[in-house]
Amino acid sequence: MSVLESKRAQRLRDWDKRLAQSASGIHMLGTLSWGPEVAAHWHAHGTLPEIAPTLRDYSAKEQALRALMGELDTQDPAGAFLKRTAASYVALIELLSAQGQPGFVDASVALFGAPRDRISHTTPTHLEAAQHFLEATEDLPIPEPAEDWDSAQAQAWMQDQLDHLPRSLPVELSETISAKATAGSKRIRLRSDARFSPHTMRQLLEHEAKVHAYTKRNGAEQPVLTCMGLSSPRTTMDQEGLATFAELITDTMDHRRLRRIALRVVAVAAALDGASFEQVVRLFEERGQDPLESFQSAARIFRGGNGRDGVVFTKDTVYLAGLLRVQAFFVQAFRAQRMQLPIRFFAGRWTLGDARDLEPCFEEGLLSEASRVPEWASNAGSLAAHLAWASFQGGVLLKCTSLSDL
């Protein structure tokens, strides 16, 4: 009998199905994000309107998740993975239930970290890393690429690129997302009022399509643990880190993108220290963002609140923090001659620790190898060359971390 036909696999499938059913309908960004009327009021009056939180009753789902957590066999690494994922959704329910309250900040930090966190006790804080990147890229005499494409032109280009890949995804325009683009297992969305440069679109292709869409679709097609396709909050930091790493290694990140990522960390720190919504908007404007993008960037940090009562959403810390973690993890995997780890990280939407701890499940046949892997990750020789250079260059970060830290 194969492992996929075993009692263990069937038990895991049953738990996996219950987890997916219990987590269904718990949406984070769609619940927290402000509607377009908030931006319209801001641009018309220079103030925020009253913003009421979107509160839903998740008590039945929380009860089901907690009941499942009590049944899961955590001696089985796959069962432990399911318990971590279920616990992540319970933490998300706590976050959503705390909208507009001081407890929202604590719940956000528990899920996504904070700017003054470190990867390990001897590494710089994420805020210190952000300040370094901002100082290193200050006033570079590099012309700004023109954002010649509106959202319809960007949509057409992205759709054409995806149609050349196996099992294409539809590209849609949205008035509700705050980021320029988001990706799921069934569609990619572009913000309808945004403008794009060709360089930005290549960046979004690598980040949104070839990482986020790939990992979600690979995870959803796992023969047992289909919950590897869920966007559980605990995976956010490492998955955004992977997507940002993809930008770096494919040369689609430029210094402006790096500055935006770093500036978000500085802005989250400022908000946690008491800066108002207006002050955070000015912070972005003073660093070169136009008024529209400055509002959108500040709104990302204050969603879940009303912009006045110190309610801060710390998720924008994860891009830089995740990039540092993924780079360190990949280099340590290279040093340990475990080059299968970077590729296996694409098998689902999971954390670096999940990929490390569940590695035996690939050998057993319980987990399937990733069917969609971007070119840079599948070219082991080129990736090894990059990691060899990074290993030589890494200095402080690599001396102070190991695979078990991540």
In order of 173, 199, 344, the CA distances from 151 in angstroms are 7, 14, 34
What secondary structure letter does DSSP report for 276? -
- Model pLDDT, residue 207: 96
Secondary element (H or E) of residue 190:
strand 188-191
- Model pLDDT, residue 390: 78
CB-based burial, 15-49: b 16+ in 10 Å, e otherwise: bbebbeebbeebebbebbbbeeebbebbeeeeebe
What would the pLDDT profile of 88-141 be if each residue is shown by its tens digit? 999 999 999 999 998 999 999 999 999 999 988 888 999 999 999 999 999 888
* Distance, CA of 153 to chain centre: 26
What would the pLDDT profile of 242-261 be if each residue is shown by its tens digit? 999 999 999 999 999 999 99
- Model pLDDT, residue 393: 67
Neighbours of 403 (CB within 10 A): 17
| Dist CA 358 CA 362 (whole Å) | 7
Neighbours of 339 (CB within 10 A): 16
What would the pLDDT profile of 6-43 be if each residue is shown by its tens digit? 999 999 999 999 999 999 999 999 899 999 899 999 99
Would you say 221 and 368 are in contact if contact means Cβ atoms under 8 Å apart?
A: yes
Lowest mean pLDDT among 143-147, 389-393, 396-400: 396-400
Tell me the torsion sign for CA atoms 52, 62, 315, 371: negative
What would the pLDDT profile of 327-372 be if each residue is shown by its tens digit? 989 988 988 999 999 999 999 999 999 999 999 999 999 999 999 9
The residues, any chain, with a CB within 8 Å of residue 20's CB and separated by 6 or more, are: 226, 227, 230
